[in-house]
A and B are shown apart, each in its own frame.
Chain A
């Protein structure tokens, strides 16, 4: 007997209505039911962070959340970052600073950083982002290819440019 629930939520601004089994993870729901395959599963036990998405603006590991918990939520995934042909400032910064190799962990780092930078901005304490602060953030997720240097540099550069010019930041 399946324990199925009808839920409604938004992904990258688009409304979805779905009957989902109670035990189904948010990650499997996004990937297999809705086709948002940019969210990747690296460990399914909440350590690697490759499956990080934003749930109501906050980074969450979608392997540790049930789909039903997303009822009524606004979810943001990597597919929502670019504006048509134009990569977001953060995405472009990852490319410019060789912040990715195989790209499997990349969506998780992008969403982690987007969530953090938005929260930092909202807190509005005005401090300039530091390398130590960003490295501490990046240490939340695992990457097996890059040695993290390009990731730290990419997030730091984006954090600094958004901090310097809050007017033209990417707000997606």
Chain B
């Protein structure tokens, strides 16, 4: 079916007001904790108070007798030994010996590990009773430092040892590259443990229906269909009897929505008790229970020829994964290795990573996993190399960036189960554009003025490669109802990114309607049972492409039916403003609502065998990711006396292929940069020598406020539409944070005039003070 003229209505690319805003601004969003059910009981987790030890007993008698308590359960009450499997298995590495049990039975391995659940009629009473659960643990020495944990004699977490994985990625003859080198440059940098820390803690409400046997769940996000299926398997239920409802989520950033112990416990308890069970995590729990991220040490060596061209790259990475392998398995270290060469021409590369287990909160992804870390390491290496080679930092990068003629570029590696094929782009072009924009905005002048005034002011530059649009598929349904309203059912989650608005724009554009008549439901497993979820900067790319295909199919079907109604040839029809009309005869016109009603059962316009309704389900499948890229430039002041780093200016330049809604792209980049400033300068999960968390409140885990985040300049380019999807889009979720560690390390190094690397992130005041006093590497 062709022939239907589609006029671009200027919907794609427009700064359409967010559909999410009115409800959120009125306090009428539906977050998980906002839901309640009559007769519900409240769950409270009892967590390990020690980092490592043998669990002798969990005494529950006193707690069970406390006022309002309905039940207290421990590992002994569970239906068997249950462990949470890895969602993303890569590199054919078996992690089954390192999985987290739903409740610890014999050994505790980090402070915060769930040991028991108390259920009571009231959350205050549940918390009171949880205090009465008496836990007997024989303390064992804790392994806290990743390097030490890999050595013989270290306290052992598992019978298989403390190294969950040790693998390499790479290509080319690295030994020959280093043998032929005129210069070899080496650096070390380690990244501190920090994490997503969305502002809404986790929450779940599970409501069993004794009549239908169904289980309604509110609060699961990110990958609702995957979590539904996993839960169904653990509960021994038919997956279609579980209904995960769409909810608003107070930020995700990788951590929220993965399957944690509570995601089994709360639904299982609801089903067992046949009562609704509600659980709302508090912040102290969140900071020890939810995935941490980023803690990695990197040792890099690069081989250069006499003119500064990279010949080869070696990376030795040590990843501190905490106590267990959770749903993400080892994708953070894998992505680190696979993305470490970045946007540069690296003829030979060898990366090795060891994944160490320690007695700390387990780790998973956090926005730009592996890229924040790897980009910081690589860009510090290039800065140090520029100093050692006596070259300008920007010129060294310019010389080594892949050129448009060299793309697409296949690197003989895989990540997330896909081959690494860098698609089209102009990396040097974006570096020039970013430098020009920084110049236009007065960054270099600000640096020289500051220095003239005696300040220790530095300029940071970092280029990076991102990845987005991970498959293998996403499915969308588009339905036009009898009122002419357009309903989109997609598989992700509204985590704040504005995906409802983006998908509405895509559907509106294909159908020739106003985005205002399009409603989008994300993450309802009854409405969209084949959704892949919102993660890995994939939703606009893959969900958007699926919505585009489904909306185009609905448009074509509407034309087919309209042709029957108007007794015209489909080739003579045009679609505009929610109606289909005969070209040149505006009076011969039927609205989408009329067409939808004409597809009702028993309609005379419906032919035998044709399904009723004006709707389509389409699947978008893709085997490769699309690789966006960008440049960060920043200006900082370092107070050598206090070690304080003040970020004065910050530019994110980013190639997005095509911006469906530029305001939302800019918002993603600005918000990402703010998070990156936190990770680079402020945020760190610290532990004492016994493995006790020292960052268990927002007084100690320091997220940036408006006082630490300057206005973020953004330069969004649309010069390299992605060839791998019909919209030409690249993901925008992670480009704001990806190079934040890199650029701030670069700027601080510049401000202090260091010869070597800054050594360590975050660049807290104490560390910067030490660097300023000559303690650099």
Contacts and interface: CB of A to CB of B under 8 A. Distances in A.
Interface string B671-695: 1111100000000000000000000
20 contacts: A39-B27, A40-B31, A42-B250, A44-B283, A45-B698, A45-B699, A50-B199, A77-B27, A87-B25, A91-B26, A103-B20, A106-B25, A107-B27, A135-B707, A143-B199, A144-B251, A146-B670, A147-B736, A150-B670, A151-B706
B765 interface: no
Interface string B32-51: 01101000000000000000
The 4 closest A-B pairs by CB, nearest first: A38-B27, A102-B496, A103-B24, A104-B250
Interface stretch (B426-434, B661-669, B769-777): B661-669
Interface in B188-218: 197-201
Interface in B247-265: 248-251, 253
Contacts of A94: 21, 25
Contacts of B674: 146-148
A136 B707 CA distance: 7
A19 interface: no
Interface in B229-276: 248-251, 253
Interface string B14-31: 000110111111111101
Contact of B26 (A78, A98, A140): A78
B497 interface: yes
B31 A45 contact: no
Given A102-B200, A142-B703, A78 B250 contact: no
Contacts, number: 171
A145 B34 contact: no
Interface residues of A, number: 56
Nearest to B661: A98
B442 interface: no
A138 B21 contact: no
B199 to A, nearest CB: 5
Given A148-B674, A149-B670, A32 B706 contact: no
A149 B498 CA distance: 17
A106 B24 contact: yes
B697 interface: yes
Contacts of B198: 102, 104, 144
A42 to B, nearest CB: 5
B27 A104 contact: no
Contacts of A140: 705
Contacts of A151: 706
Interface in A31-53: 31-32, 36-45, 47-48, 50
A43 B709 contact: no
B641 interface: no
B449 to A, nearest CB: 20
Most buried by B among A24, A138, A143: A143
B282 interface: yes
B738 to A, nearest CB: 15
Contact of A38 (B26, B251, B283, B495): B26
Interface of B: 17-18, 20-29, 31, 33-34, 36, 123-124, 197-201, 248-251, 253, 280, 282-283, 495-498, 663-664, 666-667, 670-675, 697-699, 703, 705-707, 709, 711-712, 736
Given A41-B280, A43-B697, 10 more contacts: A45-B698, A78-B27, A95-B25, A96-B17, A104-B31, A143-B199, A146-B674, A149-B711, A152-B706, A152-B711
A37 B198 CA distance: 18
Contacts of A24: 124
Nearest to B17: A95
A23 interface: yes
Given A40-B31, A40-B200, A47-B699, A142 B705 contact: yes
A102 B191 CA distance: 27
A43 B283 contact: yes
A97 to B, nearest CB: 9
A105 interface: yes
Contacts of A43: 283, 697-698
A79 interface: yes
Contact of B21 (A37, A77, A95, A144): A95
Contacts of A82: 25-26
Nearest to A43: B283
Nearest to A38: B27
Contacts of B21: 94-95, 100, 103
A78 B24 CA distance: 10
A95 B664 CA distance: 12
Nearest to A45: B697
A115 B124 CA distance: 30
Contacts of A50: 199
Contact of A23 (B24, B34, B124, B709): B124
A148 B705 CA distance: 8
Nearest to A92: B25
A92 to B, nearest CB: 8
A142 B498 CA distance: 20
Given A38-B28, A79-B27, A135-B707, A144 B667 contact: no
A103 B248 contact: yes
B250 A102 contact: yes
A79 B497 CA distance: 23
A147 B197 contact: no
Contact of A47 (B31, B697, B706): B697
Contact of A100 (B24, B253, B282, B698): B24
A26 interface: no
Contact of B664 (A98, A105, A110, A139): A98
Given A37-B34, A106-B25, A147 B283 contact: no
Contacts of B250: 40, 42, 102-105
Most buried by B among A47, A104, A105, A106: A104
Contacts of B280: 41
A74 B67 CA distance: 33
Contacts of A39: 27
B199 A98 contact: no
Contacts of B673: 147
Contacts of A102: 24, 198-200, 248-251, 495-496
A113 interface: no
Interface string A118-157: 0000000000000000011011111111111111100000
Contacts of A78: 25-27
A70 B369 CA distance: 45
A107 to B, nearest CB: 5
A81 interface: yes
Most buried by A among B18, B34, B251, B675: B251
Most buried by A among B26, B34, B497: B26
A103 B29 contact: yes
A98 B18 CA distance: 8
B671 A101 contact: yes
Contact of B199 (A44, A105, A139): A105
Contacts of B248: 102-104
Interface string A57-94: 00000000000000000000111011000010001001
Contact of B666 (A45, A87, A98): A98
Contacts of B24: 100, 102-103, 106
Contact of B709 (A37, A103, A147): A147
Contacts of B709: 147-149
A77 B20 CA distance: 20
Contacts of B711: 149, 152
Contact of A144 (B663, B675, B699): B675
B404 to A, nearest CB: 31
Nearest to B20: A103
A21 interface: yes
Nearest to B21: A95
Contacts of B498: 101
Most buried by B among A23, A39, A138: A138
Contacts of B17: 95-96
A98 B201 CA distance: 23
A104 B251 contact: yes
A147 B698 contact: no
